[in-house]
A and B are shown apart, each in its own frame.
Chain A
Amino acid sequence: MSRASILNAVKKNKPDLLPLPEIDLDVFSENIDLVKTFIGNVEFVGGRAIQLGSVENIDSEIKNLYPNATKIVSCTRDSNLGTISISKNTNPHGLETIDLAIVKGELAVAENGAVWISENDLTIRVLPFITNDLILIVNKEDIHLHMHSAYKAISKRDRTFGLFLSGPSKTADIEQCLVIGAQGAISLTVLIV
C-alpha cells in the first residue's frame, strides 16, 4: 500500500493553506416561475413534463401515455397501476423486462429539469435505468430554483444511493446526432401534482 508515501508527498508538495470561499447564494437568486421553468427544462433535455390537477388523475394520465405497458413497477402509493411488486430482495437482473417504472421523486430542480430520487424511493437501485420507460412524480411545492437549494434540502438524508435524473438516457456519440435511448430508460415523463 502506497498510502503513507502518497500522503507524505502531498504534505511536502502542497502550497500554503488557502481559504475555502464563502458562498453568497443571493447572487443566484431569481424571481421566476419555478413550475414553468422546470417544465421547459425537462423538455429541453428530451423529457416530457405534465402538470396534473390532482393526484387522482395520475393513473388515467399514465394509462393514456403508455397504453401498451404491461409489466409495470410502481414504487409509490400515488399510482395503483403496478403489475409487478418488488422488494429489497428482488434480484435486479429480473427487472430487465420491465416496461414501465413509476417512482415518486423527492424534489426537483427548475434550472436543469432534474429530479432527485434516492434508494428509498426506488427499492432497487437499477430500476430507473433498466426500465424501458420511466415516470417520475413530483409535488409542485418541491421544485427548487437551483442546485444549491436542492443540496440544502437533501443534506439531512440517509446517504446510501441517490441521483439527480434529468431527461431520458441519451447519446450523441455517432457523429453528434442526438439519439434518445442509450443504455438507460428510453423515455421520461415527469408528472407534477
Chain B
Amino acid sequence: MAHADEAALFNKDESKVDWHDKALWFVRQKRDKSAHKVKGWETLRDLASAIKANVMSNLDNYLVQFEENAQKNGVTVHWAADAEEHNKIVHSILQQTNVKKVVKSKSMLTEECHLNPYLEANGIEVVDTDLGERIVQLAKEVPSHIVLPAIHKTKEEVDVLFQKHLGTKPSNGDPQYLTNEARKHLRDKFLKADAAITGVNFAVADTGGIVVCTNEGNADMGAHLAKVHIACMGMEKLIPQEKHLGIFLRLLARSATGQPITTYSSHFNKPAPGTEMHIVIVDNGRTEQLNREDFRASLHCIRCGACMNTCPIYRRSGGHSYKATIPGPIGSILSPGKDLTKHSDLPFASTLCGSCSDVCPVKINIHEQLYKWRQVIVKDVPQPVVKKTVLKIAGRVLANSKMYGFAGKSARFILKHAPRFVTYSKFNAWGEARDLPEVKDDNFDTWYKKRQKHE
C-alpha cells in the first residue's frame, strides 16, 4: 500500500490523529524553547554539520582509527556488510558465550536489520527494554517514531496490552502505574539476562569509545549487569574527537525532546573486568549512499527525530504509514537509497515546506533532497498513467501562455457555474474536507492590465 493509502487509514480515527498531531507539535515547541536558550545555537549546528561532512570525507581513516583504539581498550570490533551479516555476527557472539536471554536498548540499526526475529528464530529471548519499544514489541508492532516508539498508542491500549502480557490490573491507562509495573517486569529481565545489546549514539575515533544516550537508564541496566555487551552501530555514527561530543550532546536532546541533555550519556571505553564488549560496525547500504553526491549528507543524521515532530505530513499520517524503519522526512531520503522501487512514494509524502531542514541539528538539506529524489524517481520508477498524463498535459499548458490563459478562463467558468456535485467529485482531493476559495472573474494578469489602464 502506498503512503497516501496508509495515511488515509491512520486518518480514520480523527481524534487520535488530532492528538498525534498536537502531541508532536508540542515536542517541536519544547525543542524551540530549549534551543533558544542556548547562546550560539546556530554556531553549534554549523559546527556539527561541518564535522559530519569532514567525517564522511575521511570515513575510512576514522573507522580504522576507531577500530585500533577500541581494540587497545580490549573491545572486539566486527564488520558487517549488510543486515544478514550483522545478524549472523551478533548470533555467533551469543552462541560462543552461551547466551539464551538478551536485553536490548533502543537501536534503530537492529530494527533496520530485523535482528529480533532472527535471534528469536534461533531460540534466543530478546527483550526490548526501552518502555516505548517494549510496548510495541508486546503489541507485535514496530516503532512508529525513532525517539517516541509508541507515540501512536493510547494509554488505554497500553493498559490492555499490559493486562494481557504483564498481568497488570485495569487502570484506565494510568501512566504512573503502568510505568511502575513495567519497571518491575524489566528489572527481572535485566537481572536474568546473559547479554545486553545496545545501539550507539556516537563512536569516537580518537578514543575508540562509544556513547549511548537514554532517559530511562535501560541501556546501562542491561550493559552493566550482563557479562556480554554488544553495541551495534551504523558506520556513520563516527565523530573524530571526544571534544566534539560537547557539540553533539548539546544538540541531540534539545532537538529531540527539548531536554538540555538526556538523563544518561554513558561513555563506554573499556569492558568491566570479567565482562566482554563487542562493537559491530554495519554498512548495509551506507557506502552506496556515500557515493551519491546529492544524498550523502543524509548520513549526517544523529537520529533526534526533530524532522518528524515538525513535519505536517508525519504528524497527520503517523510513522507506520511510511513502511520504513526510519519514518518521516529523514527516512524519506534514506529509504529510497535502500530500495528505490519499494520506497518510491516517500519523497512525495512531503509539502516541501522545509521545516525539517530548519530544525535539523546537523543542517541536512532534507527538503531539497526530497525534491531531488523525486527527479530520480520519475525517471527510474514507472509512474501511474493518470499522474503521468495529467502532468504531461499540465506541462504543455504551463509552457504555452495562450493555452494557459484559456485553461484558466475555462476553469474559472466551470468552477463558478458547474453544480457542486461536479466540482466536489472524487477527482477533487482538495475539496474532500474543505471548500475551494471563492472564484474570481479575472486572473492576476487580466486584473493587473485592467488596473494599469485605470491609472
Q: Interface residues, chain A, CB within 8 Å of chain B?
A: 1-3, 5-7, 9-21, 23-24, 27-30, 41, 44-45, 88, 92-93, 96, 109, 111-114, 119, 124-126, 129-130, 146-148, 150-152, 155, 159-177, 179, 181-185
Minimum CB–CB distance from A41 to chain B (whole Å) comes to 6
Within 8 Å CB of A28, what residues of B?
Answer: 39-40, 43
A184 to B224 alpha-carbon distance, docked (Å): 12
A193 to B270 alpha-carbon distance, docked (Å): 31
Report B236-294 residues with CB < 8 Å from chain A CB: 240, 242-243, 245-247, 249-250, 257, 259-270, 272-273, 281, 283, 287-288, 290-291, 293
B266 touches A161 (CB 8 A): yes
Instruction: Report which of A7, A109, A163 forms a contact with B64, defined as CB distance below 8 A.
Output: A7
B263 touches A6 (CB 8 A): no
Given contact pairs A13-B288, A174-B175, A183-B183, enumerate 14 new A-B contacts (beta carbons under 8 Å). Answer: A7-B60, A9-B283, A14-B59, A16-B57, A17-B58, A44-B260, A45-B259, A109-B261, A130-B221, A130-B224, A160-B269, A173-B150, A174-B173, A183-B218
Instruction: Report which of A10, A45, A161, A173 forms a contact with B287, defined as CB distance below 8 A.
Output: A10
Within 8 Å CB of A45, what residues of B?
Answer: 259-261, 263
Within 8 Å CB of A160, what residues of B?
Answer: 269-270, 272
Within 8 Å CB of A161, what residues of B?
Answer: 266-270, 272
A114 to B245 alpha-carbon distance, docked (Å): 14
Q: Interface residues, chain B, CB within 8 Å of chain A?
A: 23, 26-27, 38-40, 43, 46-47, 50-51, 53-54, 56-60, 63-64, 73, 78-81, 85, 129-132, 135, 148-151, 153-155, 158, 173, 175-176, 178-180, 182-183, 186-187, 190-191, 207, 209, 215-218, 220-221, 224-225, 235, 240, 242-243, 245-247, 249-250, 257, 259-270, 272-273, 281, 283, 287-288, 290-291, 293, 296
A181 touches B183 (CB 8 A): yes
B178 touches A174 (CB 8 A): yes
B217 touches A182 (CB 8 A): yes
A185 touches B132 (CB 8 A): no
- The tally of CB-CB contacts under 8 A between chains A and B is 256
Instruction: Report which of A6, A20, A151, A159 forms a contact with B246, defined as CB distance below 8 A.
Output: A151
Within 8 Å CB of B265, what residues of A?
Answer: 114, 163-166
Within 8 Å CB of A1, what residues of B?
Answer: 78-79
A144 to B136 alpha-carbon distance, docked (Å): 39
Minimum CB–CB distance from B73 to chain A (whole Å) comes to 7
Given contacts A2-B79, A182-B179, A183-B217, whether A15 and B296 have CB atoms under 8 Å apart is yes
9 shortest A-B CB distances, which residue pairs?
Answer: A184-B217, A112-B260, A173-B132, A182-B216, A13-B291, A126-B224, A2-B81, A159-B269, A9-B287
A182 touches B131 (CB 8 A): yes
Instruction: Report which of B58, B81, B191, B220 forms a contact with A184, defined as CB distance below 8 A.
Output: B220
A106 to B269 alpha-carbon distance, docked (Å): 18
Within 8 Å CB of A92, what residues of B?
Answer: 224-225
Minimum CB–CB distance from A95 to chain B (whole Å) comes to 9
Instruction: Report which of B60, B175, B267 forms a contact with A159, defined as CB distance below 8 A.
Output: B267
Minimum CB–CB distance from A107 to chain B (whole Å) comes to 13
A3 closest partner in B (C-beta): B79
A165 touches B264 (CB 8 A): yes
Given contacts A6-B283, A174-B131, A181-B179, whether A148 and B261 have CB atoms under 8 Å apart is no
A21 touches B51 (CB 8 A): yes
Minimum CB–CB distance from A180 to chain B (whole Å) comes to 9
Within 8 Å CB of A13, what residues of B?
Answer: 287-288, 290-291
A129 touches B249 (CB 8 A): no
Given contacts A160-B269, A176-B23, A183-B190, whether A146 and B43 have CB atoms under 8 Å apart is no
Within 8 Å CB of A9, what residues of B?
Answer: 283, 287
B47 touches A21 (CB 8 A): yes
B260 touches A111 (CB 8 A): yes
Most buried by A among B129, B175, B217: B217
B269 touches A10 (CB 8 A): no
A93 to B54 alpha-carbon distance, docked (Å): 43
Most buried by B among A6, A28, A88, A111: A6
B242 touches A151 (CB 8 A): yes
Minimum CB–CB distance from A119 to chain B (whole Å) comes to 8
Within 8 Å CB of B290, what residues of A?
Answer: 10, 13-14
B272 touches A177 (CB 8 A): no
B57 touches A152 (CB 8 A): no
Given contacts A45-B259, A165-B263, A183-B186, whether A21 and B50 have CB atoms under 8 Å apart is yes
B250 touches A163 (CB 8 A): no
A179 to B178 alpha-carbon distance, docked (Å): 10
A113 touches B260 (CB 8 A): yes
B217 touches A159 (CB 8 A): no
Most buried by B among A7, A167, A168: A7
Most buried by B among A30, A111, A124: A111
